[in-house]
C-alpha cells in the first residue's frame, strides 16, 4: 500500500524551500481533503448503522456473519493491493480508498450502537467498556489534535524520518500478525494492552513519516498527474488507517471500566 512513498530517490526535499511551493501546498491539501471526506463518510456510516436507522442493515453489519467480512476485508484488500497493483491507477486506488473507508466506518458502528443503547462491551481479554457519546467526541478530538500535530511535525522537520518510518512499517505488520496469532491462544490482558500501546505509538510515527514521504514523493513526481493522483489516494488511505487506529484505541482506553 505504501510503496509509492517508501522510496525517496535522489531528491533531498529537506533542504528545499517548501514554504512557498504552491504546487506542494495544493497537493498536500488535496490529500487532507480526501482524508477529511473519508472521515466524514466513515462517521455517517457508523452513525446510521449504530443508531439503528436501518434495522436490517444494523442486523446484517453487527449481528450476522457479515461482520467478520467487514472486520477482515480491509486487511485483505491492503495486502492484496501490494501484490496485485503493479502499476496502480487513480481509478483503482480511488475505489480501494473508498471501499476500505466504508468498511472501517461500518466497523466503527459498534461504538455508536453501544453508546445509543447503553450496552457494555467486553474485549477478548475481559476488559469491560461502556462507551458514551461524550467519550466518542473526546476520542475524536484527541485523535484529530494528535494527527494535526504529528503531520505538522512530519511536514516541517529537517530530520530524515526514513529509518524510523521503515522500522514502524514493518512493526505495524508484525503487530497485526501477532494479533491474529494471539486468537489461537487463551486471551491475555497484558498482551492486549501491549499490542494497543504498540499500535498507538507506531501509528503516530507513521503519520509523521507518511507526511514527509508525501512531500518527497511530490517533488519526485511533480508534473506527473497520474502519479500524483495515485499518491493522493494512497496517502489519504495511510492517514485514514492511522487515524482509525488511534481513534479506536483511545475509545477503548477512555471507555474502559477497569
What digits encode the pLDDT tens for the residues 104-163? 999 999 999 999 999 999 888 788 999 999 999 999 999 999 999 999 999 999 999 999
C-alpha torsion angle, residues 99, 101, 189, 129 (rounded to 10):
-120
Which has more pLDDT, 178 or 238? 238
Residue 3 has pLDDT above 50, yes or no: no
Least confident of 20-29, 76-85, 145-154, 193-202: 76-85
- pLDDT cut 90: percent of the chain above it: 72
**Pick the residue with more confidence: 133 or 187?**
133
Q: What percent of the chain has pLDDT over 70?
A: 92
pLDDT value at residue 4: 42
pLDDT band for position 20 (cuts 50, 70, 90): low
Mean of pLDDT values over 210-233: 94
Is a pLDDT exceeding 50 seen at residue 188? yes
Residue 2 has pLDDT above 80, yes or no: no
Amino acid at each position: 500500500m505504501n510503496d509509492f512513498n517508501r522510496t525517496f530517490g535522489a531528491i533531498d526535499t529537506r533542504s528545499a524551500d517548501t514554504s512557498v511551493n504552491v504546487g506542494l501546498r495544493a497537493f498536500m491539501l488535496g490529500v487532507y481533503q480526501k482524508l477529511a471526506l473519508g472521515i466524514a463518510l466513515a462517521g455517517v456510516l457508523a452513525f446510521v448503522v449504530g443508531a439503528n436507522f436501518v434495522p436490517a442493515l444494523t442486523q446484517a453489519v453487527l449481528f450476522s456473519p457479515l461482520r467478520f467480512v467487514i472486520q477482515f476485508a480491509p486487511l485483505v484488500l491492503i495486502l492484496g493491493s501490494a501484490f496485485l497493483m503493479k502499476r496502480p491507477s487513480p481509478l483503482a486506488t480511488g475505489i480501494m480508498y473508498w471501499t476500505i473507508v466504508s468498511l472501517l466506518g461500518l466497523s466503527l458502528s459498534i461504538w455508536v450502537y453501544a453508546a445509543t443503547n447503553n450496552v457494555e462491551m467486553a474485549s477478548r481479554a475481559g476488559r469491560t467498556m461502556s462507551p458514551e457519546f461524550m467519550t466518542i467526541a473526546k476520542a475524536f478530538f484527541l485523535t484529530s489534535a494528535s494527527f494535526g500535530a504529528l503531520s505538522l511535525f512530519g511536514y516541517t522537520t529537517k530530520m530524515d524520518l526514513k529509518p524510523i518510518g521503515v522500522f514502524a512499517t514493518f512493526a505495524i505488520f508484525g503487530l497485526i500478525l501477532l494479533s491474529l496469532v494471539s486468537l489461537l491462544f487463551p486471551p491475555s490482558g497484558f498482551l492486549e494492552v501491549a499490542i494497543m500501546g504498540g499500535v498507538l505509538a507506531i501509528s503516530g510515527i507513521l503519520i509523521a513519516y507518511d507526511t514527509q514521504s508525501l512531500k518527497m514523493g511530490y517533488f519526485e513526481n511533480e508534473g506527473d498527474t497520474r502519479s500524483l493522483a495515485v499518491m493522493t489516494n494512497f496517502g489519504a488511505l495511510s492517514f485514514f488507517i492511522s487515524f482509525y487506529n488511534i481513534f479506536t484505541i483511545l475509545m477503548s482506553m477512555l471507555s474502559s471500566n477497569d
